């Protein structure tokens, strides 16, 4: 690494790596898709439960709220890398391996569930209590209140929450990559750090910058369109 790296040389190196960069992007996309889907399917209802069991809400229940809240805080206390390592046995049980994007999606999903649950709870709190009460007075069932009132009124906030979650988990997925998950972050470390190919590191960071900007732009745009308040 004595000679000065020319721009032309750097671009040529990157171009040689194009198939791997594509592969890494697919892996990152896969990790995010699994993690976010699990977050929505499991964390979403958990967030609604947290909200509805608060004092003064539809299913006010101190015990349930306390237990669920405690569990959510517990999982969220773990630094992500420690959570990953502690979940290795579970990952092996579920996926049969601890390497690759599918395996990395296990701890990612695990961390995303309580994160999204809190975001959902927070978002639902912004709905005026009177609107929910009006639905109760009209004879709406709890399921109708959840689907039509809570999710309908909070939809813009929920999209914003999902945007925050996606961007946070894009960087979590880079951590997951280091311990064998693959993805863009993993590629940056392997080539950019271990092989001293700084141009790969720079290119991967730029790629992540662009992805984050696109996600945020799309999230803002969709939220604004859905928000009629």
Partner 1 sequence: MIHLKNVHKRFRRPEGGWFDAVRDTTLHIKAGEIFGLIGFSGAGKSTLLRLINLLERPDHGSVNVDGRDLTSLSAAELRRARQNIGMVFQQFNLMANRTVAANIAFPLEIAGWSRADIDARVAECLDVVGLADRAGHYPAQLSGGQKQRVGIARALAPRPHVILADEPTSALDPKTTQSILDCLQDINARFGVTVVIVTHEMHVIRSICHRAALLDAGEVVELLQVTDKQVAARSALAKSLLEVA
Distance in angstroms (rounded) separating the CA atoms of residues 108 and 135 = 37
Q: Which stretch binds partner 1 (CB under 8 A): 1-9, 113-121, 126-134, 214-222?
A: 126-134
Residue 145 beta carbon to partner 1: minimum distance, rounded to whole angstroms:
9
Look up residue 85 and give its two tokens: 């390592």
Residue located via tokens 């809190």: 118
Q: Does 137 bind partner 1 (CB under 8 A)?
A: yes
Residue 124 beta carbon to partner 1: minimum distance, rounded to whole angstroms:
14
Q: Does 9 bind partner 1 (CB under 8 A)?
A: no
Mark out the alpha helices in 17-61 (DSSP H runs): 18-38, 44-52
Please name which of 160, 157, 133 lies closest in space to residue 229, comparing C-alpha atoms: 157
Q: Does 126 bind partner 1 (CB under 8 A)?
A: no
Mark out the alpha helices in the chain (DSSP H runs): 7-16, 18-38, 44-52, 62-77, 80-86, 88-95, 101-124, 129-137, 142-144, 151-176, 184-187, 198-226
Nearer to partner 1 by Cβ, of 66 and 152: the residue is 152
Nearer to partner 1 by Cβ, of 5 and 131: the residue is 131
Residue 87 beta carbon to partner 1: minimum distance, rounded to whole angstroms:
38
Q: Does 227 bind partner 1 (CB under 8 A)?
A: yes
Q: Does 141 bind partner 1 (CB under 8 A)?
A: yes
Distance in angstroms (rounded) separating the CA atoms of residues 3 and 10 = 12
Q: Does 226 bind partner 1 (CB under 8 A)?
A: yes
Q: Does 150 bind partner 1 (CB under 8 A)?
A: no
Q: Which of 93, 134, 210, 214 binds partner 1 (CB under 8 A)?
A: 134
Distance in angstroms (rounded) separating the CA atoms of residues 108 and 174 = 11
Which helix (H) or strand (E) segment holds residue 127: the answer is none
Give 130-137's long-range contacts (Cβ < 8 A, gap of 24+).
Answer: 132/57, 132/58, 136/58
Q: Does 155 bind partner 1 (CB under 8 A)?
A: yes
Nearer to partner 1 by Cβ, of 140 and 201: the residue is 140
Q: Does 27 bind partner 1 (CB under 8 A)?
A: no
| Binding-site ranges for partner 1 (CB under 8 A) | 128, 130-131, 133-141, 144, 148-149, 152-153, 155-156, 226-229
């Amino acid at each position: 690494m004595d000679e000065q790296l020319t721009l032309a040389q750097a671009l040529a190196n990157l171009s040689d790596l194009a198939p791997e960069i594509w592969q890494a992007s697919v892996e990152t996309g896969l990790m995010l898709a699994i993690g976010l889907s699990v977050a929505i399917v499991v964390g979403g209802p958990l967030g609604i439960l947290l909200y509805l069991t608060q004092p003064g809400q539809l299913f006010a229940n101190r015990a349930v709220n306390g237990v669920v809240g405690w569990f959510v805080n517990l999982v969220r206390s773990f630094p992500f890398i420690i959570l990953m390592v502690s979940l290795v046995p579970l990952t092996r049980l579920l996926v049969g391996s601890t390497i690759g994007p599918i395996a990395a999606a296990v701890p990612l999903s695990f961390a995303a569930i309580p994160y999204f649950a809190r975001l959902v709870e927070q978002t639902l709190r912004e709905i005026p209590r009177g609107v929910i009460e009006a639905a109760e007075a009209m004879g709406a069932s709890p399921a109708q209140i959840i689907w039509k009132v809570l999710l309908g009124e909070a939809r813009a906030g929920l999209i914003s929450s999902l945007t925050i979650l996606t961007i946070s988990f894009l960087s979590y997925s880079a951590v997951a990559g280091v311990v064998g998950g693959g993805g863009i972050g993993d590629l940056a470390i392997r080539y950019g750090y271990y092989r001293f190919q700084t141009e790969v590191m720079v290119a991967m960071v730029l790629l992540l910058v662009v992805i984050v900007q696109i996600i945020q732009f799309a999230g803002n745009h969709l939220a604004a369109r859905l928000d009629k308040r």
